[in-house]
Structure 1
Amino acid sequence: MMDTLHRITSDIKPLNTKVQAETAAYLDTLTKPPGSLGKLESLAIQLAGITGQMKPTLAKKSVVVMAGDHGVCEEGISAFPAEVTPQMVINFLNGGAAVNVLARQAGADVHCVDIGVATELNHEKLLSRNIGRGTANMVKGPAMTREEALQSLVTGAEVAAELVSQGTQLFVTGEMGIGNTTPSAAIFSVLSGRQPSEVVGRGTGVTDERLSHKIQVVEQAIQVNAPQAEDPIDVLAKVGGYEIGGLAGLILGAAAHGCPVLIDGFISSAAALVAKSICPEALSYMIASHVSHEQAHVLLLEELGLHPMLQMDMRLGEGTGGVLCLHLVEAACRIMSEMATFESAGISGGAV
């Protein structure tokens, strides 16, 4: 399994700096002051480097919602019962969730993957890739075996490859798993060296009392398992989750196929941190869609070195913030392909 992961990461290439330079130069010939479109220009340059095209067309977009359950829910760290995970998966598959609505507006497909849901699910649209029926309670021992963690990474990369073969050019990360802000916070704490009290947030909206308990749960899980920060797979196995590993693998797989990835909220960003820790080159393929209302998301984005496109005070997950950012990706592409240059518009002076 490790050999497979190595093959995937070895396919992740540096961005095309030549095309990036050409794109930056071309942006300065458009009918606007240099740099006046701000982050749209930075995004256009990044997309050019990823795709190797100055004017890319990213027509087929896929939101991948990885779903998994968490044994740590036994500790009462969520405002919602674990039964909500499979119920929401069916909602995704039936097109009724927020991410489905926003994806329809953006012209994106939503693919839901059962990578670790505790309940057996059957649906014609479900991508069944179940590795285990929920993780173990990480307060009492490792959430997964190392082999299961590796399998979650490889599975995510395989889903990316499958969707690329079907024409996908741009990915959005999404997730569903009651309790998954807790393992995400634990991962962030270990890989960044920050204290749990800095990185544990309210998730689905827990009370002050439950928040304090949630911090203690993360502290205990780290103490019991002693995950090694220099080994991101060890961290993922001991205090992570199947859907977090699946998203990290999806990011790596997308990057290996030269596709940009819009990173959603806190859980997706924790997965992005795992992916970056495994293969730093993958970071260049990531686009931070938004900064969520979750307490430590801004710190997590800083740890990644990513700058969010939006700030909407959202904290739903599912890929909702990432889907909203698809409109900005489309805008950056259209600026490159449709906007007039000073020469073509007959405007003199090369500046406005």
Structure 2
Amino acid sequence: MRSFDHEAAAAARERQNSLTKPPGSLGRLEELAQFMAGWQRTPRPHLGRVQGLIFAGNHGIVAQGVNPFPAEVTGQMVENFRSGGAAINQICHVTGVDLSAVPMDIDHPTGDFTQGPAMTLEEVDRAMAEGAAAIADDADLLVLGEMGIGNSTVASILAASTLGGRAEDWVGPGTGATDDILASKLRVVTEGLTLHSPATTRETLAAFGGREQAAICGAILRARELGLPVILDGFICTAAAAVLTRDDPDALAHCLIGHESAEPGHRRLIAALNIRPILSLDMRLGEGSGAALAVAVLRAALACHDGMATFAEAGIA
């Protein structure tokens, strides 16, 4: 696993302090430039190719009435992503993200975690490997998102199992739950937590996860091997990523969180992981939308860092 290059980050900080501005006046933009410098291992980081990956999967727990939409919508949305008709496509066009949708065996939903494990360990390994293999060799930044009917319920139980707490602490409206649907979500998360007691990342994903959550974990681990910075999306993506901390508390050191989702559990996740989001815009769409939007801020941070003149260059005393 690659580690953060503190010397490169220090050199980036020194450059920031020499630019034609009061020290620290660009605030978070300066922090982001130093973060990128440390992971790209250069004082002058850059963004060439920004790769966006949306992993999509279906879940057996949908049979328990936890979502107002049928599972068929997952596949229909994958086609919408591929034809350019979704919100994420428009955001990626504006922010310069090269987007791909990766369906994870969506014709075969995972198991109902109130009846048994959602996946076998072998299925988890295959999904993680597929997520790792999806990363492009020439990417400078990875943007992660997801799609899957029922996956806010899965995210809630992944977060509760990993970080503790009751179903009520993590379950939210998702795609627009009615009172009856919200009650079903609370019930199945409580039942799942009673039935399963996983201890490791793989066991947690097998007990509750979707293939898309496992693929997100695999992509994050591969990105760490490559020293590739990652931007996570909202509640579902962050909950999947958090499962990696069961094996390694430092597993997400190379990750940023693109935005603070309006989904209630995301704020609790953010606090537990101690990763400050870049944006807060009351979004809760998923699809990688908040993460892709945050790329615009990151591009601005690096443009200022690389393009501004120093006091010496500008001849300013």
What amino acid is the match of 2:176? G
What amino acid is the match of 1:81? P
Structure 2 stretches lacking a partner, 5+ long: none
TM-score for both structures, normalised by structure 2: 0.97
Structure 1 stretches lacking a partner, 5+ long: 1-11, 119-132
Which residue, 221, 227, 239 being the options, matches 2:197? Answer: 227
The match for 1:36 is 25
The match for 1:126 is none
Per-residue CA distance 1:295-324 (angstroms, 9 max, x = gap)? 110111111111001001111100100110
- Residue 256 (structure 1) shift: 1.1
- Residue 66 (structure 1) shift: 0.2
Do the aligned partners of 1:91 and 1:97 also contact (CA within 8 Å) in 2?
Answer: yes
Work out the CA distance in 1 between the residues paired with 2:24 and 2:241.
Answer: 28
Structure 2 residue 274 is the aligned partner of structure 1 residue 305: yes
Taking only aligned residues, the RMSD between alpha carbons, in angstroms, comes to 1.2
Structure 1 residues 282 and 231, CA gap change in structure 2 (3 angstroms): closer
Do the aligned partners of 2:260 and 2:266 also contact (CA within 8 Å) in 1?
Answer: yes
What amino acid is the match of 1:86? G
What amino acid is the match of 1:159? A
Structure 2 residue 312 is the aligned partner of structure 1 residue 337: no
- Greater CA drift, 31-40 or 288-297: 31-40
The match for 2:119 is 144
Do the aligned partners of 2:2 and 2:226 also contact (CA within 8 Å) in 1?
Answer: no
Which residue, 231, 239, 246 being the options, matches 1:270? Answer: 239
What amino acid is the match of 1:141? G
**What are the equivalent positions in structure 2 for 1:92-171 lying under 5 Å apart?**
92-118=81-107, 133-160=108-135, 163-164=136-137, 167-171=138-142
- Residue 68 (structure 1) shift: 0.4
Do the aligned partners of 1:73 and 1:178 also contact (CA within 8 Å) in 2?
Answer: yes
Work out the CA distance in 1 between the residues paired with 2:245 and 2:7.
Answer: 24
Which residue, 317, 321, 325 being the options, matches 2:290? Answer: 321
Work out the CA distance in 2 between the residues paired with 1:34 and 1:195.
Answer: 45
Percent identity between the aligned chains? 39
- Residue 216 (structure 1) shift: 1.0
The match for 2:189 is 218
Work out the CA distance in 2 between the residues paired with 1:116 and 1:33.
Answer: 53
Work out the CA distance in 2 between the residues paired with 1:259 and 1:275.
Answer: 16
- Residue 341 (structure 1) shift: 1.3
The match for 2:176 is 205
Structure 2 residue 31 is the aligned partner of structure 1 residue 45: no
User: Secondary structure in 1 aligned to 2:165?
Assistant: coil
Work out the CA distance in 1 between the residues paired with 2:18 and 2:188.
Answer: 55
User: Secondary structure in 2 aligned to 1:58?
Assistant: coil
Work out the CA distance in 1 between the residues paired with 2:308 and 2:150.
Answer: 46
The match for 1:248 is 217
User: Secondary structure in 1 aligned to 2:104?
Assistant: strand
- Residue 53 (structure 1) shift: 1.2
Work out the CA distance in 1 between the residues paired with 2:105 and 2:34.
Answer: 37
Structure 2 residue 19 is the aligned partner of structure 1 residue 21: no
Per-residue CA distance 1:131-188 (angstroms, 9 max, x = gap)? xx1101111111001111122112211212xx12xx2221110111000011111010
The match for 2:261 is 292
- Residue 212 (structure 1) shift: 2.2
- Residue 223 (structure 1) shift: 1.3
User: Secondary structure in 1 aligned to 2:100?
Assistant: strand
- Residue 260 (structure 1) shift: 0.8
Number of corresponding residues? 317
Per-residue CA distance 1:61-93 (angstroms, 9 max, x = gap)? 111010100000000101211110010011111
Work out the CA distance in 1 between the residues paired with 2:241 and 2:29.
Answer: 22
What amino acid is the match of 1:107? G
What amino acid is the match of 2:41? G
Do the aligned partners of 2:30 and 2:305 also contact (CA within 8 Å) in 1?
Answer: no
Do the aligned partners of 2:3 and 2:227 also contact (CA within 8 Å) in 1?
Answer: no
Work out the CA distance in 1 between the residues paired with 2:245 and 2:26.
Answer: 28
What amino acid is the match of 2:63? E
- Greater CA drift, 250-259 or 315-324: 250-259
Which residue, 44, 57, 63 being the options, matches 1:68? Answer: 57
The match for 1:130 is none
Work out the CA distance in 1 between the residues paired with 2:33 and 2:289.
Answer: 22
